[in-house]
């Protein structure tokens, strides 16, 4: 097949048939036959195979392949077990009782159609621009009657609070499920208003209700709670909302809170001072202010504080240990240090703009969070890091999965 493809390419180049036949050492009649049957030759077929062997159940194969293409066109993720199950369904409807969607069939199906399974990253492919644009158009009606300082957004994120430079490389391309790494993860809930003037006290969710580092400590810079998985749950989120509602009632405020529709947010009772609005499903990567740069800036600044602590410990000739109490203090400091302009612009990017501000020019969304090259050079030397930069150090903890239930 590979040779036939080369012959056809030579024919398409406009060369004389006599010269082509001599080059490939074939009779003129054979060349004519190849040209005559060119439509039957699969140009996408691997050139290293001598012959094309078709599937035993071609009608089932055709149905599965068309269904697979429809799934990809709609950006629907499909895996091996799903394909096998769908093939069994097609075979049953086509009365092929002998057909079995084995692992061997799946591997051959992938080879025949040049299919490879890859990890799907990010949410942007699943975001409908039409839905986002329509949301932004109707957003002004939802904001009507509320001052900018009374419009809030809340969201959870995973924080690998102990992530040290010598461990960063081991985190890349690894799942956060069980084992040592998940024990070092906290869930962090952040909430801020549209003007950036009211950053609500963060909520941290850990695994231990009373960590040893809490011994003797009477007050904490941020709120803390715990469960076995260190995940946000609907009960914990409802408790957080109740606490914020009481806080707003004391201040005699009525706020509008925008959240995503994750499973942990499914219990929303009626509150006196809080009105909750859900963002459109599967659009938070483009419609949620905290996802537009606020969380990224927070994590960058958090890692910057970690770098400074390591340098300080190096000067004092002691090893660096980050416990939950220290992480809480760093979270509190970092959250306070995020610039108001960053928050305002992230809200504006998502369409949270007053009528009087619609013609204003947007400033850069994310503030400059670069760390001092000399600081990172000291860390790189201490931990013998050759290729990794501070940017890599930050990004490695931003791409890990975040879990809620």
pLDDT in tens, 307-345: 888 878 877 888 888 899 999 999 999 999 999 999 999
Residue 260's pLDDT is: 92
The yes-or-no verdict on residue 372 having pLDDT over 60 is: no
Residue 126's pLDDT is: 53
Dihedral sign (CA 285, 287, 288, 291):
positive
Q: Strand, helix or coil at 80?
A: helix
The yes-or-no verdict on residue 141 having pLDDT over 80 is: yes
Q: Please choose, from the candidates 119, 178, 153, the residue with its C-alpha nearest in 3D space to the C-alpha of residue 292.
A: 153
Which tops the pLDDT comparison, 365 or 336? 336
CA 145 to chain centroid, in Å, comes to: 34
The yes-or-no verdict on residue 14 having pLDDT over 90 is: no
Quickly state the pLDDT bin for 354 (edges 50, 70, 90).
low
Query: For residue 105, how many C-alpha atoms fall within 13 Å in the half-sphere facing its CB?
Result: 21
- Indicate the pTM of the whole model: 0.61
The yes-or-no verdict on residue 386 having pLDDT over 50 is: no
pLDDT in tens, 95-117: 888 888 888 888 888 887 777 76
- Across the range 174-191, mean pLDDT stands at 66
Quickly state the pLDDT bin for 361 (edges 50, 70, 90).
very low
The yes-or-no verdict on residue 378 having pLDDT over 70 is: no
Quickly state the pLDDT bin for 10 (edges 50, 70, 90).
confident
Q: In what order do the strands lie in the sheet with 203-206?
A: 223-226, 203-206, 185-193, 151-160, 255-259, 274-278
Residue 363's pLDDT is: 45
Q: Please choose, from the candidates 230, 288, 290, the residue with its C-alpha nearest in 3D space to the C-alpha of residue 264.
A: 230
- Across the range 136-163, mean pLDDT stands at 91
């Amino acid at each position: 097949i590979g040779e036939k493809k080369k012959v056809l390419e030579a024919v398409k180049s406009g060369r004389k048939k006599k010269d082509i036949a001599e080059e490939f050492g074939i009779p003129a009649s054979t060349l004519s036959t190849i040209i005559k049957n060119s439509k039957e030759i699969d140009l996408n077929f691997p050139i290293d195979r001598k012959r094309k062997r078709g599937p035993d159940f071609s009608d089932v194969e055709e149905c599965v392949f068309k269904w697979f293409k429809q799934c990809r066109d709609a950006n629907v993720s499909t895996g091996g077990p799903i394909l096998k199950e769908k093939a069994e369904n097609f075979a049953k409807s086509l009365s092929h009782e002998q057909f079995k969607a084995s692992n061997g069939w799946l591997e051959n199906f992938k080879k025949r159609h040049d299919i490879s399974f890859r990890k799907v990253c990010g949410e942007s492919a699943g975001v409908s621009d039409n839905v986002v644009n329509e949301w932004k158009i109707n957003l002004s009606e939802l904001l009507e009657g509320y001052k900018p300082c009374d419009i809030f957004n809340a969201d959870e994120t995973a924080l690998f609070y102990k992530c040290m430079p010598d461990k960063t490389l081991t985190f890349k391309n690894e799942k956060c499920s069980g084992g040592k790494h998940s024990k070092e993860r906290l869930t962090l809930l952040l909430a801020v208003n549209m003007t950036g003037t009211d950053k609500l006290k963060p909520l941290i969710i850990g695994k231990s209700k009373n960590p040893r580092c809490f011994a003797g400590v009477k007050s904490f810079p941020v709120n803390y709670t715990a469960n076995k998985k260190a995940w946000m749950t609907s009960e914990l989120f409802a408790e957080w909302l109740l606490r914020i509602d009481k806080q707003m009632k004391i201040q005699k405020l009525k706020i509008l809170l925008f959240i995503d529709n994750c499973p942990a947010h499914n219990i929303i009772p009626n509150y006196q001072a809080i009105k909750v609005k859900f963002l459109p499903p599967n659009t938070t990567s483009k419609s949620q202010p905290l996802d537009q740069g606020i969380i990224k800036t927070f994590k960058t600044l958090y890692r910057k504080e970690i770098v400074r602590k390591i340098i300080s410990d190096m000067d004092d000739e002691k090893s660096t240990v980050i416990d939950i109490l220290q992480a809480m203090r760093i979270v509190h400091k970092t959250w306070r240090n995020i610039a108001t302009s960053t928050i305002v612009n992230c809200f504006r990017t998502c369409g949270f703009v007053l009528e009087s501000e619609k013609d204003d020019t947007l400033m850069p969304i994310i503030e400059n969070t670069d760390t001092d090259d000399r600081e990172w050079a000291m860390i790189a030397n201490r931990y013998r890091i050759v290729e990794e930069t501070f940017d890599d150090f930050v990004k490695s903890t931003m791409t890990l999965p975040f879990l809620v239930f």
